[in-house]
Structures are given as C-alpha cells and as structure tokens.
C-alpha cells in the first residue's frame, strides 16, 4: 500500500442501498416496478414523455429525503485526507457523495438534481418536478428533461476518467454490478496499466474475476474498514 498515490474509485447503486435508495437490478429485472427500457432510454422518452418525467420526478423527490451513510462519509474522509490524486467516479445520480462531504466526485451518468434544456443546452440545478413542462430558467423554452445519461447515450467526461485510470495505482469498485458499460470495463483499463484492483460489493459482480481482491459484505461495513486501513 505504501507505493499508492493515485486512486480511482468507481461507485454504483450499491453504495446508496443502505441509505434507502433502490439499486437497479432488483428481482425480475424491474426498477421500481418499471422495465428499464420503459423509463431509461431516449426512445422511451420520445414514446411516453409523461411516464418518464413522472418516474424521474418521483426519484428526484425521493433522494432528497435520504441521507448519506457510513460508506459515503468514509469516502469523504478519504477525499479530505488523501494527499495524492483521487477521483470518485460515480454511476449514481443521487447527491449522497456530495452531501457526505466528498468533493472530488465525477457523475458519469448525470445527476437527479440537474435538468437539461434540450433547446439551449443549459443544465440548471433542479429540485422540483418536470412533469408540467416548466420553462428553462435560461432560455424560457419548455424543453427541460432529466440530466440523466440514458441507455444508448454517451456517459459524461470519459476523457477525464480515462486519464485518471491511466495514472491510477489503485482502482477500487464499490457497490456496482459490473453490468453497465463502459464503467464495467474500467477495471480492465486499470489492470492493463498495472494498477492494483479491489472490489467491495455485497456479492461477486459480473467482472469479479478481473479484480486482484474482492471483499464481500455491505458497503457501510466494508468501506469504512478499507478507508481506515488505507489511511493508517
């Protein structure tokens, strides 16, 4: 561990599960009783915008009632105390890393608390509903959608992520199933450049065999223990 300076941490829905936010792949492949294709694709939005807007309005309201857990707080402590480079790349669209106190956070799949204006490309902070087609605060057009990267769309800030992976000595994946690409491939990018790789997850993920080490258990236990170990 002494030689480690640059760390990339990938987080997924599992880190927020103990805060009461559902993960993606529940029993039967449904997400809050919806098929993913019905709510999380651009085609779904075109087909039935009211359904999609209502779904995200509910989730945007719900996350604001949830609190960061011990795993978010532990990563925030690592962010504060780690003197080398560190980047928390999250697939999560909640804001629990930030509310836990972390600053070096990159949301590759967008954020619930942003809207995106498809008319002028502004991304205003947004905490209320979108179902009534409110005007964009910048251009006035009723063209706001959730600022969420749907299936089939390009994740955000990929160059920055690959730069960080190229420089990483340690890659850690927390609470992600390893089913959603390109994030699921990051472990291989890091490995190819000789970074150490560690997985912290409730169960083995799909890419588990790519990691040097897998620790299995709830994030609220594994993450604080790992951060203590790294900082000690």
Q: Can residue 69 be called a binding residue for ligand NAD (CB under 6 A)?
A: no
Which residues in 101-140 contact ligand NAD (CB under 6 A)?
109
Task: Single out the segment in contact with ligand NAD by CB under 6 A; choices: 80-88, 156-164, 197-205, 207-215.
Answer: 197-205
> Which residue do the tokens 């629990």 mark?
96
Task: Single out the segment in contact with ligand NAD by CB under 6 A; choices: 19-27, 43-51, 80-88, 116-124.
Answer: 19-27
User: Which residue is catalytic, options 72, 97, 109, 112?
Assistant: 109
| Alpha carbon distance 131, 51 (integer Å) | 9
| Alpha carbon distance 157, 89 (integer Å) | 10
Collapse the DSSP code of 115 into the 3-class scheme (helix H, G, I; strand E, B; otherwise coil) and give the result.
strand
The structure tokens listed for 73 are 């707080």
Buried b (16+ CB within 10 A) or exposed e, 178-214: bebeebbebbebbbeeebbbbbbbbeebebeebbeeb
Q: Can residue 94 be called a binding residue for ligand NAD (CB under 6 A)?
A: yes
Least spacing, CB of residue 21 vs ligand NAD, in Å: 4
Among 6, 8, 9, 12, binds ligand NAD (CB under 6 A): 12
- Which helix (DSSP H) or strand (DSSP E) does residue 222 occupy? helix 219-231
Interface mask (CB under 6 A) for ligand NAD, residues 167-196, using x and -? --------xxx-xx----------------
CA-closest candidate to residue 33, choices 11, 50, 58: 58
Among 92, 114, 173, 197, binds ligand NAD (CB under 6 A): 92
The structure tokens listed for 124 are 């205003």
Q: Is 109 a catalytic residue?
A: yes
Q: What is the contact surface with ligand NAD in residues (CB under 6 A)?
A: 12-14, 16-18, 21, 23-25, 91-94, 109, 175-177, 179-180, 201-203, 205, 218-219
Any idea which residues carry the catalytic annotation?
109
């Amino acid at each position: 561990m002494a030689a480690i300076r640059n760390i990339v941490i990938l987080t997924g829905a599992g880190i927020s599960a103990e805060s009461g936010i559902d993960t993606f792949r529940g029993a039967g492949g449904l997400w809050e009783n919806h098929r993913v294709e019905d709510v999380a694709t651009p085609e779904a939005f075109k087909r039935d915008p009211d359904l999609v807007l209502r779904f995200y309005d509910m989730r945007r309201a719900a996350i604001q009632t949830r609190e960061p857990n011990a795993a978010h707080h532990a990563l925030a402590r690592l962010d504060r105390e780690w003197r080398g480079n560190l980047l928390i790349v999250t697939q999560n669209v909640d804001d629990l890393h930030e509310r836990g106190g972390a600053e070096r956070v990159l949301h590759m799949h967008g954020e619930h608390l942003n809207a995106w204006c498809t008319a002028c490309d502004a991304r205003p902070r947004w905490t209320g509903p979108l179902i009534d087609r409110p005007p964009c605060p910048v251009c006035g057009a009723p063209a706001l959608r959730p600022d969420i990267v749907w299936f089939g769309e390009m994740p955000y800030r990929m160059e920055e992520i690959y730069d960080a992976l190229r420089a990483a000595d340690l890659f850690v994946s927390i609470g992600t199933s390893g089913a959603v690409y390109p994030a699921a491939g990051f472990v291989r990018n890091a490995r190819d450049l000789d970074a150490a790789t560690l997985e912290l997850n409730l169960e083995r993920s799909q890419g588990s065999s790519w990691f040097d080490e897998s620790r299995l258990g709830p994030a609220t236990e594994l993450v604080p223990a790992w951060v203590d170990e790294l900082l000690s």
